[in-house]
Structure 1
Amino acid sequence: MKLKNICLGIVCIAALSSCNDKMNYHEYTTYDKEYVFSDFGRTAGFVNNIYSYLDEDLPSLVSFASACDEAEMAVNYSVILDFTNGNWSALNPKSLWGYYSGIRAANYFLKEAQDLDFYDLRFAQDYESQMARFNRYQYEVRLLRAYYYFVLVRAYGDVPFTTEVLTEAEANSISRTSAATILDFIANECEMVAPELPITYTGIPDASGGDNPETGRVNRGTALALKARTLLYKASKLFNESNRLEWWREAALANKEVIDYCKSNSITFGKYTDLWGANNYKASEVIFARRVGDTNGPEVNNFPIGMENARSGNCPTQTLVDAYEMIDGSTPNANDPYTGRDPRLKMTIAVNGDKWPDTNPNPLETYIGGRNGLPISYATPTGYYLKKYLDGSTDISATGSTGGKRHSWITFRLGEFYLNYAEAVFKYLGTADATDTDFRISAREAVNTVRNRTDVKMPGLPEGMSNVDFWTRYKRERMVELAFENHRFWDIRRWKEGGINSIDRMEITKKTNGSFAYKRSTKALVWEDKMYLFPIPDVERRKNKNLTQNEGWQE
């Protein structure tokens, strides 16, 4: 995507996938201020298209889960493999530069929509309610712009930054702004817009509220959540090499604010499995979800090979399975490695012998020579298939009657912020059990709150753990709780503790007596420390000579 898209020119917004069921995107092939801002409907369409740039990582052939150690992509032609096979480069950059299109649209709206009163429409019956809705748009758009900048900084570090609508020449001469400066901007924007956004759109007496509220719009919780996540990243080693403790304190306070907000607004832990399925956007701990719409894409791309139309896709690794602790603290039985594990394993990962999915007439056979195992082309290379974020009742066969079902991507949820808080307060106070007047819940207690959710009930981490032991178990807990939610890929980078050199697999063979043998194997991956940050796309540097390259990515 060209950086010149920041510039002011023809406003060209294409309708992309829907944020939610009721936010209808309008496809514009033009136009100028007079066209877009002379009608409430066109203005709403313009804002809804800014929403359309929101990201999601539902399990697909390009999911980040298979670009780290959560999963291995079974489909050998997937471009996600370039992250780990040595083909990643500035010429093959896996570019996220397209978010500048969303930023450019946001800047355009914030400039051109200032002081509009739609005077010609003042006698319309719903004028006041439409104006109330319009006056909120500026805060929604500022928050979306902040989110898009976060996505860019998370990937690239220092990036070009502007809140203005630039000419093409200006856009192609802009230098990179420091990550710290942009992260501060994001946090400040979130703090400023949060009070201007509703806690919920239900009951607001205007065109987007009432008894049938328009869902999918950012709210106050979204702003607080983005601020908290941003400050956690700012405090992490990738952006905080000197380990400024005050940055960790700021992160802990921001994440505590999210937890307090959730307590005040009945956002609470429910069942872990409520986090996916057709109604997951209604789950009790959801702060904000991107409504993707009706699709069977995740199921087609991830149901087990051996089922009609299934592609296997993101196959959980043995590395991930190892993160699921035994309930009683024991060592897993080598001949029965899944019994007695953290309940989230069974909810997240399909193992040999599972009846998965519901539309599969046979139990899974992931062993060598099995119905769903190697050497069948594209069968799981790890011994496992994915459950999380998939709807097991979907029939993807040619005669299937269920079709695509609603899917929503959870951008922010309560569980993340207990873990974020635990990490920040641990780094700030120095031990897992420490508290003070600002932080009355210890890092250990915060982690245990997550482990104690309704359908998990894992034993709490004990008092008196060494810092090394707590940090090891914290990272394991984060890997388990947030599996396949697009955190692991980025956590590895922000921690800057070493990359992913390999993943473990499980090779299962069936014995003549019907029992199974389990043998671990390892697959080497390509990692270089330059991969903590993405390369600046070569095509952008050719257009803009002021764009420096991230260290190690020079061709």
Structure 2
Amino acid sequence: MKINKLFQGVLVVLALASCNDEMNYNEYNIYGKDYITKNFQNVGGFMTDIYNTVDYDFGNYSGGAMQASATDESVYSKLGNSIEDFYNGAWSATNAKGSVWNSMYAGIKTCNHVLGQMQGLDFEELKLNADYGAQMHRYENYKYECRFMRAYFYFALVRQYGGVPLVTSELPAKVVNTLSRNSSDEVFDFIIKESNDIQDKIVADYSNLGQFSTGTEESGRADRLAVLALKARAALYWASPLFNTSNDRERYHDAARYTKELLDAAEARGKGLTAHYNDLWAAKSFNTPTIAKEIIFGRRYFKNPTGDNLVESNNYPVGIEGGSGGNCPTQNLVDAYDMKTTGLSINETGSGYDAAHPYKDRDPRLTATVAVNGDQWPTYSGATPLETFQGGVNGEPLTGATPTGYYLKKFCNGAISLAGNGKVKESFHTWLTFRMGEFYLNYAEAVFKYLGSADATTAEFPMSAREAANKTRRRVGMPDLSSSGDFWTRLCNERFVELAFEGHRFWDVRRWKEADHYFKEIYEMKLTKDSDGNISYTRRKVERQWDDRMYLFPIPQTERMKNGNLLQNPGW
């Protein structure tokens, strides 16, 4: 996203503003409002600050732990990490976890400032510039980008806390700290109404601006498809049991309509599934047309300022120079990958599963996501096959070695060597906020819940739920979902596999209210090697705590101390 060249003064102003009642342009003799609004670049700096608030999770908790390690996707390899608070009883209102409340409201504050104080500018001194028309086109679109981003921030808040205060204009702190929580219904309704209002006003496609093109890279900016995607996802969450306590079937109808609207618009623009699943996390995915066709909206994540590749160093196997183990996929996740030849789950009769060769003939997404014993991982020259068995080079009892028998491949660039003399030591990543694969599965869920059948179609919904769910399977050469068995169970499993580690599982299981089923028992695989080199596999169950109050986060106690009108979520 080429809107990240900022004047330092703009950044300082924003930092100061986040702590005060209003944007004070003159504090500490920092540039005044007249200077900030003098040219496009300075105003664009505020937009960059807003975009930089978009969430991602390549390891947001201490030591690079991902939220996935608070679910049945993975186990963090080092004991005592703060991610364990989600399931060991240490989670509380005074240990509220994460920074979403503060970061999302900071983003909302900046959006409200741009919408309230930076409208109606004409940049008089720049009118003779050759690119004046193109830059004004972008400037006029800022208000719609701001409204999209504000709605997105409210989505991040409502899925985590339920109802939150809706603030749509700049307010002094003394007023903000008296606000009560709006209901979750009101917040979801706001998101959907905002999306409906701006979807035909925001830029349709930044890669096709015609006379307003400046020739600069602008991937990463919110456009019409991003708005449609937010609306569709929000509608599906609103329809789900956590927020749809009256089981209003029409909410699934709306979710299906909005998702179809997105898919139709995206496909008309040439969007679809990229040919190769693991290409989605390649360093150049965001600007490679054959890969970017699946990406609707994402956030670029760069190596950190010291040059370290945090995604790789946080998740490379122990025993590899620079590796620390990190987020280790569970046996629960590995079991979810069906057999490739039959398309059946490993526990179904006739599946072809061989417990002595547990990774043979499995869904190709297993190989793309999980590193197993014997894999050449990482892939750079000189790396040796993994030994995750007890006493192996990459196995227990080494500190930080995988407790599950597996390491994470997804997101990691295996060509990266973290050795001091490594030739390749830089990698860039894109967090895929919205992608087509998710929305085919969202459509399948909404249509199935609305029509009540995996194979039902109507004039309004000519694609069945099963047909939509099969799209992600066909991409990797997997057989279609069978017409026998429980479709809902198979669809949930397909989401588990297709969207693994992409930030969905934590929220999916909560919105379905099925944590008792999925999150209480975590399975690990313990491998041992005998003197003849034979590997044996032993499953180990680890129990985690769950309480239904955990479906929503507690409102941070620090916020309730500032504002006594913020009622706490049940049970906290």
TM-score (norm 1): 0.92
Q: Structure 1 residue 287 and structure 2 residue 291: aligned? A: no
For 1:25 and 1:541, the matched residues in 2 are separated by: 35
Change (3 A) 1:205 1:459: closer
- How far apart are the structure 1 equivalents of 2:461 and 2:217? 36
Is the Cα–Cα contact under 8 Å of residues 249 and 425 in structure 1 kept in the other structure? Answer: yes
State the 1:116 CA deviation.
2.0
Describe the superposition over 1:28-80 as per-residue Cα deviations: whole angstroms up to 9, x where unpaired: 32325333222222101111111110111125623111111100000224322
One of 478, 482, 486 as aligned partner of 2:503: 486
Q: Which residue of structure 2 aligns with residue 24 of structure 1?
A: 5
1:462 aligns with 2:482: yes
Contact 2:141 2:203 in 1 (8 A): no
Contact in 2 for aligned 1:160/1:177 (Cα 8 Å): yes
Matched residue, 2:366: 345
CA contact (8 A) 1:183 1:234 kept: yes
How far is the alpha carbon of 1:197 from its aligned partner? 2.5
Residue aligning to 1:439 = 461
Alpha-carbon separation, structure 2, partners of 1:129 and 1:336? 60
Equivalent residue in structure 2 for 1:232, among 236, 239, 243: 236
* Aligned counterpart for 2:94 among listed residues 68, 91, 95: 91
**Structure 1: distance between partners of 2:482 and 2:403:** 36
Shift, 1:358, TM fit: 1.2
Structure 1 stretches of 4+ moved >4 Å = none
Q: Does 1:451 align with 2:473?
A: yes
Tell me by how many angstroms 1:503 deviates: 0.6
Per-residue deviation, 1:230: 0.4
Tell me which residue corresponds to 2:543: 524
Contact 2:318/2:400 (<8 A) preserved? yes
C-alpha distance in 2 between matches for 1:21 and 1:363: 40
Name the SS for the 2:391 alignment partner. Answer: coil
Distance of 1:293 and 1:374 partners within structure 2: 32
RMSD: 1.6
**Aligned AA (2:217):** P
Q: Counterpart of 1:497 in structure 2: which amino acid?
A: E
Residue 495 (structure 1) aligned with residue 520 (structure 2): no
Q: In structure 2, the residue corresponding to 1:540 is in which secondary structure?
A: helix
The worse-fitting range, judged by mean Cα deviation, of 181-190 and 372-381 is: 181-190
* Superposed counterparts of 1:171-182, under 5 Å: 171-182=176-187
Q: Percent identity?
A: 47
Measured in 2, the distance between the counterparts of 1:512 and 1:443 equals: 51
1:365 and 2:387 matched? yes
**AA paired with 1:482?**
L
Counterpart pick for 2:72 among 44, 63, 69: 69
- Decide whether the 8 Å contact of 1:155 with 1:533 is kept in 2: yes
Which runs of 5 or more structure 1 residues have no equivalent in the other structure?
1-19
Give 1:196's match in structure 2, choosing from 201, 208, 211: 201
Find the counterpart in structure 2 of residue 386 from structure 1: 408
AA matched with 2:370: I
Once the two structures are TM-superposed, the CA of residue 206 in structure 1 deviates from its matched residue by: 6.6
Partner SS, residue 262 of structure 2: helix
**AA at the equivalent of 1:82:** D
What code does the residue aligned with 2:387 have? E
Amino acid at match of 1:233: Y
Partner of residue 491, structure 2: 474
Partner of 1:146: 151
State the partner residue of 2:22: none
- Cα contact 2:528–2:535 (8 A) shared by 1: yes
* 1:268 equivalent in structure 2: 272
CA deviations over 1:85-136 (Å, ceiling 9, x no partner): 2111100001411210000000011001222222343334432222111101
Aligned to 2:433: 411
**How far, CA to CA, are the matches of 2:302 and 2:201 in structure 1?**
28
Partner of 1:52: 52
SS in 2 for 1:114: coil
CA distance in 2, matches of 1:72, 1:44: 41
Deviation, structure 1 residue 394: 0.7
- List aligned pairs for 1:320-359, cutoff 5 A: 320-327=333-340, 328=342, 329=344, 330=351, 332-359=353-380
Structure 2: unaligned runs, 5 residues or longer: 14-24, 26-31, 345-350
1:137-173 Cα distance to aligned partner (Å, 9 max, x none): 1111110111000000010001111101011110100
Aligned to 2:347: none
* Residue 546 (structure 1) aligned with residue 565 (structure 2): yes
Give the aligned partner of residue 17 of structure 1: none
The one-letter amino acid paired with 1:290 is: R
Cα distance change on mapping 1:74 and 1:47 into 2, 3 Å? same
8 Å CA contact 1:21–1:291 kept in 2: the answer is no
What count of residue pairs does the alignment treat as equivalent? 528
SS at match of 2:428: strand
Q: CA separation of 1:458/1:148 partners in 2, compared to 1, >3 Å: closer, same or farther? A: same
How does 1:97-116 map onto structure 2 within 5 Å?
97-98=101-102, 99-116=104-121
Amino acid at match of 1:227: K
Residue 326 of structure 1, CA deviation: 1.2
Deviation at 1:22, TM superposition (A): 5.2
1:457 Cα deviation after fit:
1.3
User: Residues 282-316 of structure 1: CA distance to partner in whole angstroms, max 9, x if unpaired?
Assistant: 42211112112245110000000001121110000
1:136 equivalent in alignment to 2:141: yes
- Tell me whether 190-199 or 349-358 shows the greater mean CA deviation: 190-199
In structure 2, the CA distance between the partners of 1:203 and 1:221, relative to structure 1 (3 Å rule), is closer
Q: Tell whether the 8 Å contact from 2:134 to 2:214 is kept in structure 1 after alignment.
A: no
